[in-house]
Chains A and B, each alone.
Chain A
Amino acid sequence: MLYRETPSPVHRLPPEVKIVAMVVFTVAVVATPREAFWAFGAYALLVAAVAALARVGPRWLLSRALIELPFVLFAVALPFLGAGERVTVAGLHLSVDGLYGSWNILAKGTLGVLASLLLAATTTTRDLIIGLDRLRCPQMLTQIATFMLRYLDVLVGEARRMRVARVSRGDDPRFLWQLRGFAAGVGALFLRAFERGERVYLAMLSRGYTGRMPATWQGVGAATSAQWLVAATVPVVASAVAAAAVVLT
């Protein structure tokens, strides 16, 4: 979905290594005390280095990071809502705790979003599920995730066909007028998508599907210890920064 098809060393890493690296990095960021401003600078440098290595441009990253916007608004409101000691900045009466709080949300939230965007840009969703499977994620969860990603396309395609059918029968969907037709169509959309999905599932079963995709049980392309070591550099550096920040503050 957000995958960027460009060859790079980060793209070539097996998915399970990237998932673990991303999760450890995020936990290290969240565990860092908010007063350690330098640590967040170090994390930002790490993210920039990985992005450069993965050939993901800053413009792509930043425009996708706008997903965070509602929480940025929450963060902006905090200095006004927070309790305790207050300072006056440019004529505004702000809570100190609230200011730290909004910095905390902005810094940690942004770094987390950038880390997941880098994972998404360098890993296809199919690989992501293979990676989760190799990390011993229960088969039920990977199975539901596999079907979810496959059926998303079924659902979108079915919705498009129903829309075309309505338009070609003289319906004129505009934004508000569309609402009634949309509401009436949701149930039908669900059923049509299910019946199509059920046929896909039965076809998969009859071709020997037992709950896992072939790529996972064939074990091709699983991470080697060298790849684990290479990918470990980012989370290890991040953990060291976090530990230093905890000790220093």
Chain B
Amino acid sequence: METLAMHISNGIINGPVAAVFAALALAALTVCVLRGRRDLDDRLAPMAGLVAAFIFAVQMLNFPIFTAGVSGHLLGGALAAMLVGPWVGALCVAVVLVVQALVFGDGGVAMLGLNITNMALLGTAAAYLLIAVLLRVLPRTSTGLAVTAFVSALLSVVVASQGFVVQYWLGGTTDLGGNLAGLSGTMAGVHLLIGIGEGLITATTVVTVAKVRPDLVYALRGLRRPVTTRAVPAVGGVR
């Protein structure tokens, strides 16, 4: 399997900052494990695995846009937050990152804290906050759901990319001088494009799942009125 590294690799950010973020990520993941344990039932356990596998597969779709060497890929935080909730969702993305670092050397092991903070924590948290707000504001139709998924996925990717800029500002190993604003702009621009792709994939996936198995969408639980959709025959066919 040929892939390109898109996560922060060893030596980009200095040791002390990486250690601080590792501690931060560890603390946040502990909270996620404690809160997520309540969510993880018979339905969510296989779903969490599949969401992680899906994100793993989707992160292999890379966008090699090299402007000053910055590049990016899909993150999947919004999809995870939508389908399995913020706590288990953050854990899913974190598991993907850990396995990629250990098995593919994608993202330095010493930089795992930074990568987890950006993609698993920042990305999922931003997505879930947006989902929570948008689902209350937008009409309860499949269009509303699609817009929610699209917007939250798009913005969560941009937020996660700015996490890297903050980390580089705190502990980048090379002083870029006044170019930090340039780095921020490039990262935001590239990830806006990526976010559109991410938004489309998230929206189509979530809407399909919501139409056929609305019970599987975590974000729709606890809403007073369910999303009204036309009846669609269950996906199946030859097994």
Residues of A within 8 A of B (CB): 1-2, 19, 22-23, 26-27, 29-31, 34, 64-65, 67-71, 73-78, 81-84, 97-98, 100-102, 104-109, 111-117, 119-120, 125, 128, 138, 140-141, 143-152, 154-156, 161, 165, 183-184, 186-188, 190-198, 200-202, 205
Contact = CB atoms under 8 A, between A and B. Distances in A.
Interface stretch (B51-59, B126-134, B154-162, B223-231): B51-59
Given A74-B68, A74-B69, A144-B95, A198 B46 contact: yes
B105 A145 contact: no
B174 interface: yes
Contact of A186 (B46, B68, B204): B204
Contact of A113 (B71, B105, B204, B208): B105
Contacts, number: 255
Contact of A116 (B96, B101, B235): B101
B103 A205 contact: no
A75 B69 contact: yes
Nearest to A107: B11
A140 B40 contact: yes
Interface in B93-120: 94-96, 98-99, 101-106, 108-111
A140 B94 CA distance: 12
A193 B50 contact: yes
Given A108-B108, A152-B56, A194-B46, A145 B99 contact: yes
Mostly helix, strand, loop or mixed at chain A's interface?
helix
B174 A113 contact: no
B24 interface: no
Interface residues of B, number: 76
A128 B40 CA distance: 23
A71 B9 contact: yes
Contacts of A23: 109
A19 B204 CA distance: 38
13 contacts: A71-B5, A113-B108, A116-B104, A116-B109, A119-B103, A140-B36, A148-B96, A154-B50, A165-B238, A187-B207, A188-B235, A191-B235, A195-B235
Mostly helix, strand, loop or mixed at chain B's interface?
helix
Given A1-B1, A144-B52, A82 B11 contact: no
A82 to B, nearest CB: 5
Given A101-B174, A190-B209, A140 B91 contact: yes
B212 interface: yes
B235 A192 contact: yes
Given A108-B11, A146-B49, A116 B102 contact: yes
Contacts of A155: 50, 53-54, 57
A119 B101 CA distance: 11
A30 B82 CA distance: 36
Nearest to B108: A112
